Structure 1
Amino acid sequence: MSAAIMLRQRNSIHLMVDSASYFSDGIIAGFLDKCRTMPEIRCAATTLGASLWQTIIFDAISDGFKSFDEVKAGIAPLLEQLYEAHADTVCEPGMWSSADVWVIGWSDEIDGPDGFVIGMDDLEDWTLQHGDDGRRPFVVEPLASLDLGLNMHPCPTAHQLFEARFPISLAESDRLIPDIDLLQLLEVQRRMLYRGRYHFIGGYALLTSVSRDGISQRRVHTWDEDEVGRLIVPQPIDWRRWRTEREAMCGIRPAGMRAHTQFH
């Protein structure tokens, strides 16, 4: 499992991921860019699940479609074919072969940024894991059908955001600054436990942004304490200090002085 945050704003869409790959006991196996950019089709994608899915899915999207809108329209049957062909080989026997695919891009149909999530799994296994939550595998979930224009996995609770002193309503998506606010959300996610056992978010934070003009991707933070062969152990954070230092690093005035500043 991995972390992902998708944020759509007026003129762009962003995808923040971490980079840690780990074994079933939580030990870090390595670090990798979990988001693939596809500039020729103004599209980017990440997967949550077994890491071997990434190359398989990324290559299939890049080779099979000529635009983001084609990806959105045709990805469901493609993923069904890939799942049937590779589900038995992407992970060790007895482990979940399911995955979620997150895609962002520039849509010519709506002349704007767009994104969606789609799950891959055997229907029986999906029902066992998710219950009757209304979702189904191989069905595109547009970002428009999700709350706020913001999607996160794992999703912090309101109390966790309060404890982190997150200063902006998540409903105000155009006020969020990806380099600051998405990283703070990722730091909150980093402190969540996977199935109550271990922390699973780390390495470095990779931010991908898509606009009419194309795609950019960059590392916005590295957790130097994370090492291959060890568990992830997040360090304590003074959230007020963290916020002040991050805003200064990005050349942003303190949060209390931002009321009349617009971000796009």
Structure 2
Amino acid sequence: MAGKDGTKTCTDEGPIALKGFYGLADHPNHGIIASILKRRNRKFTLPDEVKKMCKQVEEYKTAADHLHQSLMFMLVENPTTSKQLVENVRTEPNLRKAAAYLRTYDGLNRQGRKLDSKEGKELESLEPVSKLLLNLDAEHERRVRKQLENLKPLTKLIGEDYWEYARLRKVYWDALEAFDDAVTQQNKERTEQSEQNTANAQKYRNECRQKLIDFIGKSIFDQKTKHADSVLKFRDEAVLYHRAMAELIPYVEEKKPENKSAIKPPSSK
């Protein structure tokens, strides 16, 4: 069954729902655990408690991932750079390129380019503008790093905690299969050894189930406050960022042209 965004919804058909991942989750580094996403032919019915919790995790992670990707895009305004921003901090080179261009142009001007060849008037130096652009670029990069630090709890949810949940769910699913195999074998053999194997498989299944439930509760649900706080810090820092960038730009008061007209306005009688 597909959701509104075209992704698969959480089902009991495999160790983990096959979803369309976003942000950090689709990074090549996560290929080592791609096997987690494989579906199995067997169909089990997860306990209602586990099924409900897994569905909540999937929905929460998808929403958090969309939000995280949007915030990354806000920082650099480039879809390609934003997806790599967590592991490779870099900003767009627009300001640096503009500064380099102005310095090159300024150098050519000093070599003889004139604004008005008749009067011999040179262009004003563009070095102050070049320095301003570089200062803006440095401030932007500093703020980007600060924002990445603010979003660490949300980044950890997407890049680490979710995948640990996925691993534990796969382990639990494998334990369900192992228990099913043990029960099938016991029904065939009816021996003391097969009964012991079934008991061991049942114990291991219950342990895996409890580990999954505990992890979801402590590492995901109990961390929602930290996730929300990180987004609020991002918002506050965004306000300070725009203020800092504006303060770097010097305010130049426009000079009003002097009124040199010899015609005086008529005086009122």
TM-score range, shorter chain: under 0.3
**Greater relative CO, 1 or 2 (CA 8 Å, sep 6+):** 1
State TM-score, norm by structure 1. 0.19
State TM-score, norm by structure 2. 0.19
In terms of Rg, which structure is larger? Answer: 2
Higher helix share: 2
